[in-house]
Amino acid sequence: MTVLRRLRRAGGWFAATWLVALVGLAVTAPWLPFVRAADEKVRVGGKLQSRYRLGPGRHALFGVDNSGFDIFARCIHYARNSLLVGVSATVIGLLVGGALGVAAGYFRGWVDRIVSVVIDCILSIPALVLAIVLVSRLDDIRQELPGLGWVTRRWQVVAALSLLAVAPLARIVRAQTLALREREFVLAARSLGATSRRVIATEILPNLVPTMVTVASTGLGLLIAAEGTLAFLGVGLGESWGYLIEANRRRLDKAWWATVFPCLMLFVTVMAFNLLGDRLSRRFDVREVIT
Amino acid sequence: MAGTGTAHLRDADDIVLRVEGLVVEFPVGRTGLTVQAVSGISLDVRRGETLGLVGESGCGKSTTGKLLMQLLRPTAGSVRFDGVELTTLSGEALRRARTRMQMIFQDPISSLNPRRTVRDVVLEPLRIWKRGTAAEQSAKVDALLAEVGIDPARAAESRAHQFSGGQCQRISIARSLVLDPTLLICDEPVSALDVSVQAQVINLLEDLKAAHGLTLLFIAHDLAVVKNISDRVAVMYLGKLCEVGDCATLYRAPAHPYTRLLLDSIPIPDPAAPDVPVTADGEPPSPVLPPSGCRFHPRCPAATELCATTEPTMRPVGDDQFVACHHPLVAGLT
Amino acid sequence: MTRPRPLQTAGRPAEGPLIELTDVRTHFATERGLVRAVDGVTLTIQRGRAVGLVGESGSGKTVLSRSIMGLLPRRGVVRSGSIRFEGTELIDAPRSTLRSLWGREMAMVFQDPMTSLNPLMRVGEQIAEPLRIHLGQSRAEARDTTIRLLTEVRIPSPAERLRQYPYELSGGMRQRVMIAIALACGPTALLADEPTTALDVTVQAQILALLSEERRERNMTLVLVTHDLGVVARHTDEVAVMYGGKVVERAPTAALFRRTRMPYTEALMRSIPTVDDPPHTRLAAIPGRPPDLVEPPPGCRFAARCAYARERCHAEEPSLVASSDDPDHHYACWYPVGTVEPVALRPADPAAVG
C-alpha cells in the first residue's frame, strides 16, 4: 500500500517536472544557446549533415533528419504547437462542454433532451473521421467566405479537437450534475430561496471542478495525441510532433532516432498529463465520510 | 385509505399549513405507465403543533415533504401555507414564500456542501436574502451555532466531513433556522444517527421548537421517535393516509389495522414482555400497480369483499381520531 | 405453508463452547494512526445459543463479527489474540482453512441484501452455488434443495422465484434469500450483522422470527449483531454490549435487562424513546460522543460520558469481572449501577456534542 502510494506520488512529481520543463523549454527556445532554430541545418565542421547522417550524440542530441534539421530542436520548438492546440481545445471543451452539461443536468426537460441528442450524435461518429472532415471543410469555408482569414490551420485543428473534447466532457458533467442536484445540500439551498444561478455557482460548480480538472488533464493528453494523429494523416499542423513522426517514419530502419524521439516526446507528455490527472483526482477527493 | 377524504381537516384560525388532495405522479421508465407516489393526501398543521408523519419506506412520506416544500411540484392538489397557495406560485414569489418553511434531511453529511466551511453553509441563507450587515449576519450565525451546540470558531475553519453525523445534523438545523421560519419539515432527521445521539437531537429539536416558536412536521419511520415528539400523528401506507389523530390516543387505541400492525411490530426492549402475534404477513406491494379498494386489504387480517372493491374515506372514530377503514378496530363501528 | 424439516443437523454435539475468543484485537492502519476497532475481547459462545452483540457505530461489533468470520482484508489490519472455532485457531489461519469453514460451519447474513446479492445472477443459481461447491450436489439435487430452502424461509411460490433476479424481489424477500444462502450448507453458526436494519419494521419482525425459528430447529448458534436493544431482547439468550472496541457488559439477556450493571448499557436503554412513554417525554440522552479509537482515553472508555464516573474511572481501566451475586453476569465498571449516586456531568464542551 505504501509502496503503491509512494510510486503514485513519484509519478505525480515526475509528471509535474516534465511538463514544467517542457513548457519552459518550448517558450524560451529561441533564446536558448543549446537549442538550434527549427529551420537551422546541422553542420559539423562546416559540412551539412543531411540524409540522417548524424545519430543521437554530441552535435545533435536526438540526431538529424533527411534535410539535416536537428530533431531535438524541432521537438522543442514544435512542442509549442502541440501543447497550444491541446490546451486551447481542452479549455474550449471545458467551457462549452461544462456549460452544456450543467444546463442539461440541472434544468433537465427539453434542454437535456436537446443536449443529449447532440452529444450522442457527435459521439456516434468516429472521432478521427469527424476531425478530418471538419478540418478540410473549414479550409474550404475559409477560402469561400471573406473575413475568415484568421482561421488558420492551427485554429481549424483547435476547432476540430475541441468538438471532440466537448462531447465527453458534457456527458460526464451532465451525469455529475444530475446526481448533485438531488443531493440534500442542493435541495437545502433551493428551499432557502437561492436562485438557480446561485445554486449552480455556489453549490454545483465547486463540486464539479475536481471531476472537470481530472477529466480535462487526462483528455489533454488524448488531444495532443489526436493532434499527432491528424498531423500524421496530413491534415494537422505542419509543425508538430505528429508531423515529425509522419515525415521520418519511412526511414525507421535506417534512422530510428528521427521517429523514436518525437514518439517518445509525445508518449511521455501524454503519460505526464494522465499521471497528473490521477494525482489531481486523489488530491481533490474530499472525504465525505467520517473516519 | 387507505383512502381519501378530508374529514380530519380542522377548521381553526391558527392553521399554518393546509394540504388538500395532494397527488404526484412519476413516469415509470419508458413504459408509459405512471406511479402515484402520493395519492390524495390531506393534512393540516396548527401553529406550534408537531405533526408526525409515519410510514414504511416507499409509502411516500418523504415525497410528501418535498411536495410541501415545492422541491417537487405536485400533479394535483393544494398546499396552503400561511394563507398563501404555494402550488400556483413560481419564480421569485415562490422563493420568497417558502423561506418561512424550511427542511432538514435524513443524511446529515450530504446535507452540507462538502467544499464549504460549515459556518459559510449556515451563513448562506442570509447572504442569499442580503439580510443585515455582515456584522449582524455573523452575530446571528454564531449565536445559532452556539445554540445548537457547535463551536462557532471551529465551524469557521472546518468542513462537513470533519464533524460527526450528529454534529452535521445540528449544523443543518442551525442553517434551517437562520431565516426565522415558521414551519420546519424534518425528513427522517434522526434515523441515520446512533441511538445516544438520536436522543440528543430530538431533545434539541424540542428545545428549539419552544425557543423559536416553531411548528414541526416530523417525518419518520420509527414509531417510538414519532410518538415522543408529536402532538398529532398521521399514518401513511402506499401513498395514502390510513389514520390521523391525537398522538396519545392513536398509540393507545389504534383504529386502523395497519397502525395496529406497525405498533405490534416494534421490538420491545424487554425480554419478559408477552409475545404479540404478528397479525399480517407480507410487505407493501409496489405502488406502480396498487391494490384496488383499500390499499392495505391484501395484508389486512380484517379485510372483506368490500375492502377489495371500495376505497374507504376518512371518518371520525372518536375525539380527534380519524380513520380510513371499513372495519376500524373500534367497538360499535364497522 | 408447510415447512420441510431442515437439512443436516444430526450428529452434532449439542453443548459446549463453539467459538472461543481470547483477547482478540483487530487494529486498522490508517493515515491518522492505528484505529483500535476491537481492543481486547474475550468471549465464549456456546453451541446452540443465540448471542446478541450490541453496540453503536464504532463500538467494534461489526469488526468483531468479521474478525470471527475471517472476512477482513489481510493488508493494513493488525490482529492478535486467539479466535478458536470448534478448537481450530482462526486468527492466522490460511485462506484454505477459512474457506473450508465458510458455508458449512459458519455463514453470515449482512445488513444490505441488495448489495450482498449478485445483481446479475438468478436467485436460484446464487443459492445452488454453495450447494454444488461445498456439498458436491448435482444440478438436479441442488435445485431440489434450493426449492426446499426457499420454502423453509417462507418465500411463496419458490419454483418461480428461482428464475428471478434480485432486483425483482422486495427488500424482505431479498433478505430471506440471503438467509437461505447462508443456511444452504447447514452451518453450525450463523452470524447476522444488522440483518434487519435496512428493512421496514413490519418486515423486521418477520425476519427476526424466521431467524429464531431456524436457530431452534437446526440447533444452530446465532450471533446477532445489532445496535438495537429491542432486537436482542426477544431473540437472544445472552447479550454482550460493546463500547469503544471492548465488551463492557455480558449477561444472560433476562438478567441484563432486569439488572443492568454497566452505566453505559443503562444509559443506552434510557436514551431510546419507547411507545409506552407519553408524548414529549424528555429523553435521557448520553452527552458527548464515543471515544477516539486512535488514542483511546486512559481508564474506562465511557468515563467521559458517564454519570457515575469518579476519579478512578478516568485513570484506571476496569476489566470485565463476574458479578458477586450472579456468576454469569459480567461487567467492566468500577462503580456499577446502584453502588454510587450519579453526579452531574461537567457542562458539555460544545465541541464534544455527538
Candidate from A185, A192, A289 with C-beta closest to B112: A185
Contacts B114 to A, Cβ<8 Å = 185, 207, 286, 288
Rounded to two decimals, the ipTM of the complex is 0.87
B153 at C interface, C-beta within 8 A? no
Q: From CA B50, how far away is CA B41, in angstroms rounded?
A: 18
- From the candidates B63, B67, B115, which should be mutated to test the interface with A, based on the most A CB atoms within 10 A? B115
d(CA C313, CA C304): 9
Give the β-pairing of C17-30 and B321-323. unpaired
Whether the CB of A66 is below 8 Å from some CB of chain B: the reply is no
CA distance A11 to chain C (A): 20
Q: Which of B288, B296, B294 is nearest to B26 (CA)?
A: B288
Residue B276: pLDDT band with limits 50, 70, 90: low
**Is residue C215 domain-resident?**
yes
Q: Minimal Cα distance from A2: which residue of C?
A: C76
Query: B194: which chain C residues are within 8 Å (Cβ-Cβ)?
Result: 56-57, 227, 354
- Is A288 an 8 Å CB contact of chain B? yes
Q: What is the dihedral of CA B60, B64, B70, B74, to 10 degrees?
A: 70
Q: Given B195, B206, B230, which is nearest C272 (Cβ)?
A: B195
Mean pLDDT of C99-107: 89
Instruction: Please check whether residues C186 and C305 belong to one and the same domain.
Output: no
Which chain B residue's Cα is nearest to A179? B110
C239 and C304 both lie in a single domain: no
Residue C35 resides in a domain: yes
Report chain C residues touching chain A, CB-CB < 8 A: 30, 32, 35, 75-76
Instruction: Please indicate whether, in this complex, the C-beta atoms of C75 and A1 are within 8 angstroms of each other.
Output: yes
Q: Is A289 a residue whose pLDDT tops 50?
A: no
Q: Which residue of A has its CA nearest to C58?
A: A291
Size of interface B-C (CB pairs under 8 A): 151
Which amino acid is present at C124? G
> In chain A, where are the structural domains located?
2-37+75-283
pLDDT over threshold 80, residue C353: no
Question: What's the pLDDT at B227?
Answer: 95
Q: How confident is the model at residue A3 (pLDDT cuts 50, 70, 90)?
A: confident
DSSP string, chain A: -HHHHHHHHHHHHHHHHHHHHHHHHHHHGGG-TTS--TTPBPEETTEE--TT---SSSSSTT-B-TT-BBHHHHHHHHHHHHHHHHHHHHHHHHHHHHHHHHHHHHH-HHHHHHHHHHHHHHHHS-HHHHHHHHHHHHHHHHHHSTT-TT--HHHHHHHHHHHHHHHHHHHHHHHHHHHHHTSHHHHHHHHTT--HHHIIIIIIHHHHHHHHHHHHHHHHHHHHHHHHHHHHTTSS-SSSHHHHHHHHGGGTTT-HHHHHHHHHHHHHHHHHHHHHHHHHHHHT----S--
Same domain, C124 and C81: yes
B236 touches chain C (CB under 8 A): no
Number of domains in chain C: 2
Measured between beta carbons, which residues in chain C are less than 8 angstroms from residue B149?
Answer: 348, 350, 353
CB C348 to CB B149 under 8 A? yes
Q: How far is C296 from chain A, CA to nearest CA, in Å?
A: 15
- Report the residue from C32, C75, C76 with minimal CB separation from A291: C32
Q: Are C233 and C212 in contact (CB under 8 A)?
A: no
Nearest CA in chain B to C283: B199
**Chain A residues within an 8 Å CB radius of B163:** 290
Kindly state whether residue C3 falls inside one of the protein's structural domains. Answer: no
Confidence class of residue C2 from pLDDT cuts 50, 70 and 90? very low
Contact B109 A290 (CB under 8 A): yes
Average pLDDT, chain A: 85
C62 to chain A nearest CA, in Å? 15
Give the CATH number of the domain where residue C223 resides: 3.40.50.300
Q: Considering only CB atoms, which chain C residues are within 8 Å of B278?
A: 202, 205-206, 209
Set of chain C residues whose Cβ sits within 8 Å of the Cβ of B262: 201-202
The most distant pair of C-alpha atoms in chain C lies apart, rounded to whole Å, by: 68
Comparing C-alpha atoms, which of C277, C272, C284, C278 is closest to residue C342?
C284
Q: What grid cell was written down for C161?
A: 422465484
Q: Contact, B165 vs B109, CB < 8 A?
A: yes
Residues 67-126 of B with CB under 8 A from C: none
Does residue C7 carry a pLDDT above 90?
Answer: no
- Identify the pLDDT of residue C265: 94
Task: Give A257-281 pLDDT, tens digit per residue.
Answer: 888 888 899 889 988 988 888 888 7
B199:C272 CB<8 A: yes
Pick the range with the lowest mean pLDDT from A40-49, C121-130, C136-145, C263-272: A40-49
Is there a contact between A1 and C76 if contact means CB atoms under 8 Å apart? yes
In a domain, C249, yes or no: no
pLDDT at C349: 45
Closest residue in chain C to residue B149, using alpha carbons only: C350
Residues in contact with C298: Cβ distance below 8 Å, sequence separation at least 6, in sequence order: C314, C315, C316, C317
User: Number of A:C CB contacts under 8 A?
Assistant: 5
Q: CATH code for B1-82+208-268+278-334? A: 3.40.50.300
Å from C338 to nearest chain B CA? 20
For A2-37+75-283, the fitting CATH number among 3.60.15.10, 1.10.3720.10, 3.40.309.10, 3.40.50.300 is 1.10.3720.10
Element (H, E) at C264: helix C263-271
More confident of the two residues B130 and A134: B130
Nearest Cα of chain B lies from the Cα of C270 at a distance, in angstroms, of 9
Question: Which position has the higher pLDDT, A140 or C26?
Answer: C26
**C164 and C77 fall within a common domain:** yes
Which of A98-102, A218-222, B24-28, B246-250 has the lowest average pLDDT?
A: A218-222
Q: In this predicted model, what pLDDT tens digit does every residue of B294-310 receive, in sequence order?
A: 999 998 988 999 999 99
Residues of A with CB under 8 A from a CB of C: 1, 291
Ranked by mean pLDDT, the top range of A237-246, B133-142, C198-207 is B133-142
What is the pLDDT, as a whole number, of residue A58? 79
Which chain B residue is nearest to residue C233, measuring alpha carbons? Answer: B271
**A291 neighbourhood in chain C, CB within 8 Å:** 30, 32, 35
Please give the pLDDT value at position C11.
Answer: 56
Chain C residues with CB-CB distance to B230 below 8 A: 279
Q: Does residue B32 have a pLDDT over 80?
A: no
- Domain identity same for C234 and C294: no
Where are chain B's structural domains?
1-82+208-268+278-334
CA distance B19 to B78: 6
Rounded to a whole number of angstroms, the distance from the CA of C32 to the nearest CA of chain A is 9
> Alpha-carbon torsion C294, A5, B162, B110, what sign?
negative
Give me the residue from B146, B166, B278 closest to C350, CB to CB.
B146
Taking contacts as CB-CB distances below 8 angstroms, the residues of chain A near B71 are 187, 190-191
The residue-averaged pLDDT of A11-37 equals 88
The total of other beta-carbon atoms located within 10 Å of residue B25's CB is 15
Interface test with B, best of A108, A113, A180, A184 (most B CBs within 10 A): A184
In a domain, C8, yes or no: no
pLDDT at residue C352 tops 80: no
Cα gap C233→C208, rounded to integer Å? 11
Domain limits for position C310 = 261-354
* Most confident range, picked from A112-126, B19-33, B276-290, C233-247: C233-247
Which among B50, B167, B194 is the top mutation candidate for probing chain C, defined by the most C β-carbons within 10 Å of its own β-carbon? Answer: B194
- pLDDT of B1 reads 41
Task: Output the nine-digit C-alpha cell for C9.
Answer: 443437523
Percent of chain B, pLDDT > 70?
Answer: 96
Q: Model confidence over B119-133: pLDDT tens digits?
A: 999 999 999 999 999
| Highest-confidence segment of A286-290, B216-220, C185-189 | B216-220
* Contact with chain C for residue B194, Cβ under 8 A: yes
Q: Is residue C161 part of a domain?
A: yes
Q: What is the mean pLDDT of chain C?
A: 88
B96 at the A interface (CB within 8 A)?
A: yes
Closest chain B CA to residue C230: B269
C134: pLDDT strictly greater than 90? no
Higher-confidence residue of A132 and B257: namely: B257
Asked if residue B64 has pLDDT above 90, the reply is: yes
Q: pTM of this prediction?
A: 0.86
- Max Cα separation, chain B? 67
- Residues of A in Cβ contact (< 8 Å) with C75: 1
What residue in A sits closest to C74 (Cα-Cα)?
Answer: A1
Average pLDDT of C3-28?
A: 74
pLDDT at C336 (0 to 100): 92
Q: Mind telling me how many Å the CA of C129 is from chain B's nearest CA?
A: 27
Whether residues A291 and C30 touch (CB distance < 8 A) is answered with yes
- Same-domain pairing of C236 and C338: no
- State yes or no: pLDDT of B43 exceeds 70: yes
Nearest chain C CA: its distance from A55 CA (Å): 50
Q: Which residues of A touch B96 (CB under 8 A)?
A: 193
Among all residues of chain A, which has the CA nearest to that of B166? A290
Core vs surface per residue B29-51: b (16+ CB within 10 A) or e: eeeeeebbbbbbbbbbbbbebbb
User: What pLDDT does residue C348 have?
Assistant: 46
How do strand B101-104 and strand B321-323 relate by DSSP bridges? unpaired
Is pLDDT above 70 for C228? yes
Q: Taking the C-alpha atoms of C109, C226, C210 and B252 in order, what is their torsion angle to the nearest 10 degrees?
A: -150
Answer yes or no: is C250 within a domain.
no
